[in-house]
């Protein structure tokens, strides 16, 4: 999996992944659920590449399931607003 040290490239890669999910027919709720599962995987298998990713990881680690889903939802909104 390609990781990005550049924050804007990272956001663009997340945006592309969301677009692919939408093309495949995923609704917003499913995109967030899949994002939360990916967040769990990344938390345990990758170190953050930049300060922004470190902050997201810190928030992810202290959040419960609902808070993690909320964070995933906010990330989806953030990258979509950048388009």
What is the rounded end-to-end Cα distance, in angstroms, of the chain?
23
Residue 1, pLDDT score: 45
Q: Would you state the torsion angle of the CA atoms of residues 49, 51, 54, 56, taken in this order, to the nearest 10 degrees?
A: -110
Integer Cα distance of 78 and 83 in angstroms: 9
Q: Over 60: is that where the pLDDT of 2 sits? A: no
Tens digits of residue pLDDT in 11-43 = 888 899 999 999 999 998 999 999 899 888 888
Residue ranges of the domains in the chain?
A: 28-81
pTM metric for this prediction = 0.81
Q: Over 70: is that where the pLDDT of 4 sits? A: no
The alpha helices in the chain, defined as continuous H runs, are 7-23, 28-45, 51-62, 65-81
Radius of gyration of the chain (CA): 12
């Amino acid at each position: 999996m390609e990781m990005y040290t550049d924050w804007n490239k990272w956001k663009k890669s997340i945006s592309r992944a969301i677009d692919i999910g939408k093309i495949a027919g995923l609704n917003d709720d499913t995109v967030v659920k899949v994002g939360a599962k990916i967040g769990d995987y990344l938390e345990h298998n990758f170190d953050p590449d930049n300060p922004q990713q470190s902050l997201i990881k810190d928030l992810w680690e202290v959040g419960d399931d609902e808070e993690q889903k909320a964070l995933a939802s906010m990330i989806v909104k953030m990258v979509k607003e950048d388009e």
